[in-house]
Chains A and B, each alone.
Chain A
Amino acid sequence: MPEWLVTTILILVKLGFVFFLLLTGAAYMVLAERKLLGRMQLRYGPNRVGPFGLLQPLADAVKLVTKEDFIPSQADKFLFFIAPGIAAVTALLTFAVVPFGPPIRLFGREVPLVICDLNIGVLYFLGLSSLAVYGVTLGGWASNSKYALLGSIRALSQLISYELSMGLAIVPVVLMARSFSLTNIVNAQAGLPFAILNPPAFLIFLVSVLAESKRIPFDLPEAENEIVAGFHTEYSGMRFGLFFVGEYINVIILSSMVTVLFLGGWHGPLLPGIVWFFLKVGFISFLFIWTRGTLPRLRYDQLMHFGWKILVPLALVNVIVTGAILLLLNPAKG
């Protein structure tokens, strides 16, 4: 077999694996969330469809597909059609740079367990997460409904504000790993994960990620009891499903970014690397669900206050302090 064919097949296999994993992961994340929230509220959660409700995602999908597909008459149809796609695709694409395991040996060659090891992987992640805003915004605007518009305005300002602190929380990681590549960042954490070396950055990143995912306590863009369902008020059927799945894919992606950037990726004792990676991602996802079961929603001014007056200055100070310490430990050579 020629070399390029093997490479192409390997990439396709990895793509299929990641795609399958992400989509089923997102579907079962919904189930896991409903189950866990149920247990936290002393309920069982869905347990009717299949054993322990394990077929619930399938039932949900069938329900969403067979629902009436409604488009408001005054909507901007093209944007209305395309917005959920933007939301889901930007979420899916991000996983391309996430290394989910140590390189393995297949057919006598080294196969890195990452679809594309970009040398600017961190920036790729930031870029896509900032583009994800468009799905929400354009969807809300194109619906031509006041609730959707309010929701998307909220989403806009929230995502922009917290992207800033998220980006600033990544800077110390890049400084410590001396690379923008996610694989190098994971390898730099072979000893101690950055969460222990730099806990302020870890906490800031965790909170910002929670806000990026638009979930409780930062779910103001879709605050049900204020603005119906926010930006997806007018969406129904599979288009709503795309927004919904996109949100959960986003949770998985953001959890894996936390894992890669701060928890040492696949590094861990005893178990094989890939298991460690998924365990850590699962734990962070559980943290998301746990938070949803615990905290109430912030008020809008509290959200902005917290983002701009607390997180961003803290992150800036953290960047300077980390840089200074790194400079002291190994002075610049040239």
Chain B
Amino acid sequence: MTAAIFYILSAAALLATLMAITRKNPVHAVIYLVHAFFALALIFFILGAPLVAAWEVIIYAGAIMVLFLFIIMMLELTPGEAARGPGWQRWAPVILLSGSIVVCTLLLMTAEPQAGPGGPNFYASPRDFGYGLFKEYALAVEIVSFQLLFAAVGAFYVGRGERTRRRARGDER
């Protein structure tokens, strides 16, 4: 049972990602990618990590993809009229994907994933997860967060533009 759901979800995630990288319209691509994240979140849930599943939805589907959308909208990346307003049949994959994800969610809600064969042999409660993250692998986590900080500072530096940088150095004419 759980194994079947796992394979359905994996297929859904793969299909969604495939659709995402082949769309011309970036907003449609984002929608497919969000479906992929949903499928991934459910897979994490099956694997016994509800906290990671929740973060997959909150951070990836809820924040990062929204930021993608924000950039797409700000830059008006949508191609011309032809790509606008596709008919219902072009959205069939989305309906299929969201339908299968919803069905899997319902199945997972009724059947305990820990039970049946193929289920995970451990279950990471938020507490375990926290201990793992900040005790066992604290050094790795800190290094990764520093990496992110470097990236943020670098992006800030690049984003300031040549002119302001020159002014900051003091060699503005």
Over the window 116-141 of chain A, the binary record of Cβ atoms lying under 8 Å from chain B Cβ atoms (1 yes, 0 no) is 00011001101101110110011001
Which residues in B have their C-beta under 8 angstroms from that of A67? none
Q: Determine the main DSSP class of B at the interface with A.
A: helix
Least CB distance from A315 to B in Å reads 16
Candidates A131, A138, A149; contact of B62 at CB < 8 Å: A131
Contact A153 B85 (CB under 8 A): no
Closest to A74 in B: B84
Instruction: Give the distance in Å from the alpha carbon of A130 to the alpha carbon of B64 in the complex.
Output: 10
Cβ contact of B34, chosen from A120, A134, A149, A153, cutoff 8 A: A134
Whole-angstrom distance between the Cβ of B52 and the nearest chain A Cβ = 10
| Least Cβ–Cβ distance between A299 and chain B, in angstroms | 19
Contacting pair B67 A131 (CB below 8 A): no
The verdict on A124 contacting B54 (CB below 8 Å), with A77-B85, A130-B61 known, is yes
> Interface 1/0s, chain A 149-185, versus B by CB < 8 A?
1001100110110010001000000000000100000
Q: Which residues of B contact A131 (CB under 8 A)?
A: 57, 61-62
Chain A residues with CB under 8 Å of chain B are: 73-79, 119-120, 123-124, 126-127, 129-131, 133-134, 137-138, 141, 144, 149, 152-153, 156-157, 159-160, 163, 167, 180
CB nearest neighbor in A for B59: A130
Flag if A74 contacts B81 (CB, 8 Å).
Answer: yes
Beyond A119-B125, A123-B51, A123-B55, whether A163 also contacts B63 by CB under 8 A is yes
Given known pairs A119-B125, A153-B70, A157-B70, the reply for A127 and B86 (CB within 8 Å) is: no
A76 proximity list for chain B (CB < 8 A) = 27, 84-86
User: Is B137 at the interface (CB under 8 A from chain A)?
Assistant: no
What are the residues of chain B within 8 A of A180 when measuring CB–CB? 126
Q: Which B residues contact A (CB, under 8 angstroms)?
A: 27, 31, 34, 50-51, 54-55, 57-58, 61-63, 66-67, 69-70, 73-74, 81, 84-88, 90-91, 94, 125-126
Residue of A nearest to B57 (CB): A127
A123 touches which of B31, B58, B94 (Cβ 8 Å): B58
List 13 interface pairs A-B (beta carbons < 8 Å), by A numbering: A76-B27, A78-B88, A79-B27, A119-B125, A123-B58, A126-B58, A127-B57, A130-B62, A130-B66, A141-B73, A153-B74, A156-B73, A160-B67
B85 touches A75 (CB 8 A): yes
- How far apart are the CA atoms of A76 and B87 in the complex, in Å? 9
Instruction: Return A159 CB to nearest CB of chain B, in Å.
Output: 8
Q: Which of A124, A130, A141 has the most CB of B within 10 A?
A: A130
Dominant SS among interface residues on chain A:
helix
Q: Which 7 A-B pairs have the closest CB atoms?
A: A130-B62, A123-B54, A127-B57, A78-B91, A127-B58, A156-B70, A153-B73
A144, B94: Cα distance in complex, Å: 20
Given contacts A130-B66, A137-B69, 13 further A-B contacts (CB under 8 A): A75-B85, A119-B126, A120-B50, A123-B54, A127-B57, A127-B61, A127-B62, A133-B66, A144-B84, A153-B73, A153-B74, A156-B73, A163-B62
Is A120 touching B70 in the complex (CB atoms < 8 A)?
no
Residues from chain A with Cβ under 8 Å of B67 in the complex: 160
Contacting residues, chain A, for B50 (C-beta < 8 A): 119-120
Instruction: With CB as the reference atom, state the residue of chain A lying closest to B27.
Output: A141
CB distance from B136 to the nearest CB of A (A): 13
Chain B residues, Cβ within 8 Å of A163: 62-63
The distance from the CB of B159 to the nearest CB of chain A, in whole angstroms, is: 16
Q: Which B residues lie within 8 Å of A152 (CB)? A: 73
Q: Give CA–CA (A214, B27) in the complex, Å.
A: 23
Instruction: Chain A residues near B73: list those with CB within 8 A.
Output: 137, 141, 149, 152-153, 156
Interface-central residue, B34, B63, B90, B125, by most chain A CB under 10 Å: B63
- Which A residues are CB-close (under 8 A) to B125? 119
- Minimal beta-carbon separation of B121 from chain A (angstroms): 19
Contacts of B94 in A (CB 8 A): 78
Cβ-closest chain B residue relative to A164: B63
Note all chain A residues with C-beta closer than 8 A to B57: 127, 130-131
A127 to B51, CA, bound (A): 11
A224 to B57, CA, bound (A): 32
